[in-house]
Chains A and B, each alone.
Chain A
Amino acid sequence: MLNLYTLKLNFMSKTGFLHSSIGKKFVMGLTGLFLISFLVVHVGINACIFIPDNGETFNAAAHFMATNPVIRVMEIGLFAGLLLHIYQALILTLENKKARPIAYAKVNGAANSKWYSRSMGVLGSLLLLFLVVHLSHFWVDTKVAVFSGKADEHNTYVEMQEVFSHIWVVAIYLFGVGSLLFHLLHGFQSAFQTLGLNHKKYTPLIKKIGIWYSVIVCLLFALMPIVMFMRGMNN
């Protein structure tokens, strides 16, 4: 009989699913898709800055996200997913390095694959560095405000204007979003393939949606620091 014990054995044991190469890639794919779904929410709320009301709508949305208990719980899940994605990537990268102890002297990678599909580790590391900068800009201040009971006074829109008043900060953000674009261009369709979702009818559609998703999300993100910088110049 299949019961919880055998299921646990099938998945958790040393020879179980989660310790296999395919299982580890499943974890990468699932956490990746989870983070992709988060980006939709993130970009949607931030796009409120494009409404010309001096950040009123955006601040209301940001306040809701910072204080709503359901969102607070989901935030823990988000960080857990992110950490799992990073941890699994590290394990996989170390294994992959071990699988080819002596490197080729000459590799013509462009002949058989896209450069960004071969650079997911580098792009991910750049994203992680960017994330540290990004969280220190916005997330930390918001947390401090929420936990000191000053969430109502915290004006994220004004904070954005201050952060993006420096051209070099805008440059860092554009570089971060660029890394995100290429990470997503491969990651989106790759996640579906890993999860076994490859079908003659649907895969071309998934690939198209992946490209549109990556370009639209990253374009919107890239416009935010640029728009805030230009608004700052006009004031």
Chain B
Amino acid sequence: MSHGNMNLTLKVWKQKNKNEKGRFETIEAKGISPDMSFLEMFDVVNEKLINEGKEPIAFDHDCREGICGMCSMYINGQPHGPKQGVTTCQLHMRSFKDGDTIVVEPWRSAAFPVIKDLAVDRSSFDRIMAAGGFVSVNTGNVKDANNILIPKDDADTAFAAAACIGCGACVAACKNSSAMLFVSAKVSQFALLPQGQIEKQDRVLNMVRQMDEEGFGNCTNTGACEAECPKGISLENIARMNREYMGASFTQNK
């Protein structure tokens, strides 16, 4: 179906590795269906580049249904593009017009070094999780599901925080590349539940320390993270983490 297909100009960031200097390259994307996702458009462009014997554009992707958190791309000045509440794989080309020029950049943060082109290394998030984003459980028989009673509201709020897919759009959107929304969601999803209480002080102290060590910026409460988050993680989580951190700093005993 060629009807309604679009021709676009892409200004794409090309960078060999984290040490080389990057630059923009202008690439024409012709015959793009408005029903394609943004990543499928890149597939078409890459196929053409490969057929011409050129190097394709490197970008991250995995599930392509908005739940894995792998796709990134800072599109026309916004992480995951102009639509709110979606990841790049859920962004469709009908959000653009024929003849548009689209600027595509990687997440830019000292804590997210570029691997190649649009793919960045987000293992700093993994290290923050390893520092405290877990609940230690003993092995043994499976416990009855209703052994520990949890108020419905708490379960819902914890679940909403746990919806974070760790894509890093919050860091990309923040003018200070702060990771507060991500870390606070991960702190909150445990802090709200009884199972998370035992390690709650160590968790928040260690995760915030790791966040600072990774070189993320500080929170100015612009709310850009919340607005750009594909999973609608709330700023309330940041306030909760600040409370937890303050409390833990006052009463920790080591």
Instruction: Tell me the A residues contacting B by CB distance below 8 Å.
Output: 1-2, 6-7, 10-11, 15-17, 20-26, 92, 95-96, 98-109, 111-114, 117-118, 120, 186, 189-190, 193-198, 200
Contact = CB atoms under 8 A, between A and B. Distances in A.
B78 A95 contact: no
Interface stretch (B34-42, B44-52, B65-73, B101-109): B101-109
Interface in B97-117: 103, 105, 108-111
Interface stretch (B132-140, B191-199, B208-216): B208-216
Contacts of A108: 76-78, 82
20 contacts: A6-B253, A10-B252, A21-B211, A21-B216, A26-B242, A99-B109, A100-B109, A101-B110, A105-B11, A106-B76, A108-B78, A109-B224, A112-B223, A113-B223, A113-B224, A190-B220, A193-B235, A194-B221, A197-B239, A198-B235
Interface stretch (B1-9, B143-151, B172-180): B172-180
B182 interface: no
Contacts of B11: 105
Contacts of A117: 220-223
Nearest to B212: A21
B227 A111 contact: yes
Q: Chain B: interface residue count, which band?
A: 35 or more
Interface string B85-102: 000000000000000000
A178 B76 CA distance: 31
Nearest to B254: A6
B219 A194 contact: yes
Contacts of B178: 21, 96, 99
Contacts of B209: 15, 20
Contacts of B216: 21, 99
Contacts of B249: 10-11, 16-17, 23
